[in-house]
Amino acid sequence: MRTFLDSDGMVARINELRSEKNAVILTHNYQLAEVQDIADFVGDSLELSIKAARTTADVIVFCGVRFMAETAYILSPDKTVLLPSLESGCPMADMAEAPDLERFKKKHPGAIVVTYINSSAEVKALSDICVTSANAAEIVASLPKDGKIIFVPDMNLGSYVQKVTGRDMILWQGFCPTHMRIRAEDLKRRIAEFPDAKVIVHPESRPDVINLADEALSTGGMLKFARLTDARQIIVATEVGMIYRLSKESPDKQFIPVSEQAVCPNMKMHRLETVLHSLETMTHNIEIPEEIRVAAAKPITKMLQGLQS
Ligand code: 13P
Ligand code: SF4
């Protein structure tokens, strides 16, 4: 019979299994505090894919949403990639399906397909290059000037990149339900309450929210901004898990969430219990059929190589 373990007991057992199985726990910035605290590395989508590509561990326990674990497997197919809670999907990624993208590409022949990493492996496999919120503007600006660009699936990130780069872009109409809950009225109220605060927003936010910000940044970019700014108060428009992460790294600053409603339920499915269960049973194993994996690896590798050069 399995004995009941309290939090300390679960952490101790996770640590034993982590070293026995040569596992690494990669965790996204929006995860619950208890999951961030046991991670080997906490980061944004770009930082996590770089870690997954470079790790020497045999097992990657991915505490994020499914597309992130898929990206880890696509880049490191010789590793066992585990997603502790199989239901942890990304609704935005589900808004673009491969057959629809195939039809869309036929309607716009010759267009370059730029795909946000928040997408399925099948959609990546149909794409020319991937981007994350940390590098989307830089990568789009580096593409040939005369070509049309299809941007999939986030219309908000796409319209932000279009504005920054001035490029001719056709936007897929996907969105993040969590970031859509953040309203410009809520942000204006916060700005009135904290007039000296700096405002940082995630580019998955609505355009009228982004327009009110000092900076639109990936979650990793937000952490860097918080470390470097002289401001003592920072208003943050993104998923609320970010407040724990920011406060832990910059404890001398005050972080003010725009909306407590901005919760991504999918990101909150992993717990100490599910991470422990995942390591004990080696579930849930994320794999992609080889033909799709190879095709999906190309646009991701192109993104990572472009960043190195
Ligand atoms: P970051 O890459 O900025 O962490 O964003 C991932 C995400 O899913 C935001 O909703
Ligand atoms: Fe997807 Fe939005 Fe959740 Fe990020 S916050 S994982 S984009 S649903």
β-strand partners of 86: none
Domain ranges across the chain = 7-88+267-289, 92-176, 182-257
CB neighbours of 170 closer than 8 A, spacing ≥ 6?
A: 108, 111, 148, 149, 150, 151
Query: Ligand 2 within 6 A of 262 CB?
Result: no
Q: What is the Å distance from ligand 2's center to 44 Cα?
A: 12
Question: At 23, is the secondary structure helix, strand, or coil?
Answer: strand
Nearest-CA neighbor of 117 among 82, 67, 73, 158?
Answer: 67
Query: Is 242 touching ligand 2 by the criterion CB < 6 Å?
Result: no
The answer to whether the CB of 101 is under 6 A from ligand 2 is no
Q: Is the distance from CB of 136 to CB of 183 less than 8 angstroms?
A: no
The residue contributing the CA closest to ligand 2 atom 3 is 264
CA distance 175 to 181: 11
Strand partners, 303: none
Q: Is 118 in the pocket of ligand 1 (CB under 6 A)?
A: yes
Atom of ligand 2 nearest to the CA of 266: 3
CA angle, residues 35, 36, 40, in degrees to nearest 5: 105
Q: What is the pLDDT of residue 307?
A: 60
> 239 CB less than 6 Å from ligand 2?
yes
Residue identifier of the C-alpha nearest atom 3 of ligand 1: 218
Length of the chain: 309
Dist. CA 291–CA 6, nearest whole Å: 44
* Torsion over CA: 224, 83, 258, 210 (sign): positive
92-176, CATH topology level: Rossmann fold (3.40.50)
Q: How far apart are CA 62 and CA 69, in angstroms?
A: 6
Q: Whose CA is nearest to atom 6 of ligand 2?
A: 90
Ligand number with the minimum distance to the CA of 203: 1
As to burial, measured by CB atoms within 10 angstroms (0-12 exposed, 13-18 middle, 19+ buried), residue 180 is: middle
Residue 118 CA: which ligand 1 atom is closest? 8
Q: How many CB atoms lie within 10 A of CB 295?
A: 17
For residue 1, the model assigns a pLDDT of 56
Same CATH fold assignment for domains 7-88+267-289 and 182-257: yes
Q: What is the predicted pLDDT for the residue at 2?
A: 64
Options 3.40.50.10800, 3.30.1780.10, 3.40.50.300, 3.40.640.10; CATH for 7-88+267-289 is 3.40.50.10800
Distant-in-sequence, close-in-space partners of 228: CB < 8 Å, separation ≥ 6: none
Residue with CA nearest ligand 1 atom 6? 45
Q: Cβ-count burial of 288 within 10 angstroms (0-12 exposed, 13-18 middle, 19+ buried)? A: buried
Residue located nearest, by CA, to atom 8 of ligand 1: 118
How many whole angstroms from 64 Cα to the centroid of ligand 2? 10
Interval between CA 53 and ligand 1 midpoint (Å): 18
pLDDT by residue, tens only, the chain of 309 residues:
567 899 999 999 999 999 999 999 999 999 999 999 999 999 999 999 999 999 999 999 999 999 999 999 999 999 999 999 999 999 999 999 999 999 999 999 999 999 999 999 999 999 999 999 999 999 999 999 988 999 999 999 999 999 999 999 999 999 999 999 999 999 999 999 999 999 999 999 999 999 999 999 999 999 999 999 999 999 999 999 999 999 999 999 999 999 999 999 999 999 999 999 999 999 999 999 999 999 999 999 999 997 654
Q: How far apart are CA 138 and CA 145, in angstroms?
A: 13
CATH class of the region 182-257: alpha beta
